[in-house]
Structure 1
Amino acid sequence: MKRLFTLTLLLTTLVFNAQETEEKEEKKLSISGSIDAYYRANLTAPNDENAIAPGSSFANLPGFALGMANVIASYEGEKVGFVADLVFGPRGTDAIFASPMYSATGNIVNQLYAYWNVSESVTLTLGNFNTFLGYEVISPVPNFNYSTSYLFSYGPFSHTGLKADFALSDDVSLMLGVFNDTDLTEFNATGDYAVGAQLGFSGQFLNVLYDPSFFEIDFTGGFDLTDDFFLGINAAYLSLEDDAGGFLGAAIYPQYTVSDAFAIGLRGEYFAEDKEFGAIGTGVEDSSVFAATLTGSYTIDDLIIKPEIRLDSASDDAFIDNDLAATKSLASFLVAAIYKF
């Protein structure tokens, strides 16, 4: 009898220890992210001290260049969680351009937020998070093209504030939020606030952002036309206050999966600025640009190789040629390596 009691006690202890270990594993901190680097060269413009790049491109440095190291620490619990998303390198610096405002390290914080799953259909998030507008994102991993569009580069990057996400049904979602002025990520330096909303339906999203200095409306979505062929869509309109200008644009993203390892995609974009918004870099009012970017994507385990050819054609002189003469067009090439972990 004594042996049976001892055996029962031992088994009970093992069960409790296993449950405690399982609970600890469920609360384990997750580390993920990526690194990227690339080589870029102009085909119709200099590649020395006079090297230029499209104003929209995060991949804007000549020769062999660095993108960024992106390190994300996160915890996803049943009710609560957090994300600490840090960036190091030129791409990260370009994305967090308005920091540091106060802290010495504000320019490495891409996202920093905590969230609470109030119910199965309601989530509250407080902190700094990347924008809900647009098709492309700061990290190169989810983007098919390595260089970025004019629409992405001149739309918002990040918001700091409070947002509520509502899952209204399996296909319909709604987000409502109040934020500091756009891209002022560390604190509110103006005393003004922006409000935003997103309505989602079956993978299509209508986004609205009203900031004290501008108003923007944006549509982002896509469709699986076949098992191998996907078409992404993005369109946006932004108007600055006091009739100071703005932009409008549209982009399509046809992508074809050739095999498990290789896919090819095209981004065709039209972007126009109202008055002298400054996005295209012509210095001329009411300029426009058409950009076509052809990208291949080859995956080897967690490494992605992306060769890319990009053609930008503006309505006015925005670039220079090999003779340093002003011209309306630019052709460039790059190959990028992205490792995700």
Structure 2
Amino acid sequence: MKKIFSLTLLLMSVVLTAQETEETEEKSFSLSGSVDAYYQTYLSAPDDAGASFGTAFANQTGFAIGMGNIIASYENGKVGAVLDLVTGPRGAGATFSNDIVDGIVNQAYVYYNISENTTLTMGRFNTFLGYEVIAPAANFNYSTSYLFSSGPFSHVGLKADFALSEDFSLMLAVMNPWDTNDTSFTGEYSFGAQLGYSGQYLNLYYDSGNNGGLGFEIDYTGGFDLSDSFFLGINAAYNDNDGSGFYGAALYPQLATSDEFSIGLRGEYFALHGDANNDESVLGLTLTGSYSVDSNLIIKPEFRLDSLTDADGGIYGNVIDNDGAAASSLSAFTVAAIYSF
């Protein structure tokens, strides 16, 4: 009898220990991030004349820093939270400097994995629109496109992600209006949807309070592996806000010449539409090399040339020549160093 009782206690101890171990293994904490810096000089304009492409980030000359960010993630079973903090000019530009705790909060959200196929997320998260992202470590080109720069960087709201099958996915979201990243005082909200199929995404955005008027955007983001070493990324978008907005398309061909080095081109056509915009457009060509020193450090030399339809000084930026006069093109050389951990 004593042996049976002892054996029962032993089995109960093993079961309890296994349960505690399983619960312990379900909890996880991770810390990641990146730091980047760059040198930039204009080839067709003086560095001290205030020339700029007008796209987001990397708009300084000489030596400059981009941003540093730290991402803390914690998961306990089906629930978790992510806090992404940024600092530096790129981080300030992504958070509008004074947005949420003096512009240091890039993302802050909690999530609940209701099932293997359904996840609810609430808080502030980076946008689902577009091909490029805020953190330079996740982009092939160091400078950013007009399509990326013209869209929202982040949203505050609630989204639901559904894995419909191995190939299909669906996301639905209700959020504060366009680039209203802290509190919505207007009582208006925006709605988003994303349909994914095998790495191709069709994104829809509707805003009932976008800068005081109705607005929407349709965006396609995707790409194809044309061979083991050649990838073609694609982005196209159309945006309208009460009769004015933008549209454009960008191709991202990228060739890996070795395990350490790749070269890629961003070819982008971008245009404004509407009576107030005079149908201005720009053709941007950005050639970027990407050399991995090791698994953490990447060096990116880059040449960029943007050509405008008219010598009007630029769509968003200040396009000038070496004499300081309004020009129809602007070129620059940049070399960036990005460290990820």
TM-score, scaled to structure 1:
0.90
Contact 1:98 1:183 in 2 (8 A): no
Q: Among the aligned pairs, what percent are the same residue?
A: 62
- The reply on whether 1:145 has 2:146 as its aligned counterpart is no
How far is the alpha carbon of 1:286 from its aligned partner?
Answer: 1.2
User: Could you list the per-position Cα deviations for residues 154-196 of structure 1 after superposition, in whole angstroms to 9, with x for gaps in the alignment?
Assistant: 0111111111111111000111110001211112122100011
- Cα deviation for residue 275 of structure 1 reads 3.4
CA-based RMSD of the aligned residues comes to 2.5
Structure 2 partner of 1:234: 235
Structure 1 residues 308 and 211: alpha-carbon distance in aligned structure 2, compared to 1, 3 A threshold: same
Alignment CA distance shift 1:9-1:203 (3 Å)? same
**Aligned match for 2:287, one of 294, 297, 303:** 294
The match for 1:54 is 53
Q: Residue 40 of structure 2 aligns with which residue?
A: 40
Give the Cα separation in 2 of the matches to 1:14 and 1:305: 52
Partner of residue 172, structure 1? 168
Q: Decide whether the 8 Å contact of 1:80 with 1:115 is kept in 2.
A: yes
Could you say which residue in structure 2 is the equivalent of 1:310? 304
CA distance in 2, matches of 1:63, 1:275: 37
| 1:1-341 mapped onto 2 (5 Å cutoff) | 20=20, 23-24=23-24, 26-48=26-48, 50-97=49-96, 99-100=98-99, 105-212=101-208, 213=210, 214-241=215-242, 243=243, 245-275=244-274, 285-299=278-292, 300-317=294-311, 318=314, 319-341=319-341
Shift of 1:29: 1.9
Contact 1:42 1:51 in 2 (8 A): no
Q: Deviations over 1:44-66 (max 9, x none)?
A: 10112x13121114111111001
Q: Is the 8 A contact 2:56 2:93 kept in 1?
A: no
Letter aligned with residue 279 of structure 2: D
Q: CA deviation at 1:21?
A: 6.0
Give per-residue Cα distances to partners, 1:22-81, cap 9 Å, x unaligned.
Answer: 744542321101010100100010112x13121114111111001001110002344111
Structure 1, unaligned stretches of length 5 or more? 278-283
Q: Is the 1:113–1:125 contact (alpha carbons within 8 Å) kept by the matching residues of 2?
A: yes
| Alpha-carbon distance between aligned partners in 1 of 2:9 and 2:47, rounded to the nearest angstrom | 75
Distance in 2 (CA, whole Å) between partners of 1:82 and 1:201 is 27
Q: Residues 26 and 77 of structure 2 are in contact (CA less than 8 Å); yes or no, is this contact kept in structure 1? A: no
Question: Could you tell which deviates more after superposition, 50-59 or 197-206?
Answer: 50-59
TM-score, normalised on structure 2?
0.90
The secondary structure found in structure 2 opposite 1:141 is helix
Q: Deviations over 1:280-325 (max 9, x none)?
A: xxxx621100000000001123001000000000112221111111
Structure 2 CA distance, aligned partners of 1:290 and 1:162? 36
The one-letter code matched in structure 2 to 1:290 is L
For residues 140 and 275 of structure 2, what CA distance do their matches in structure 1 show? 30
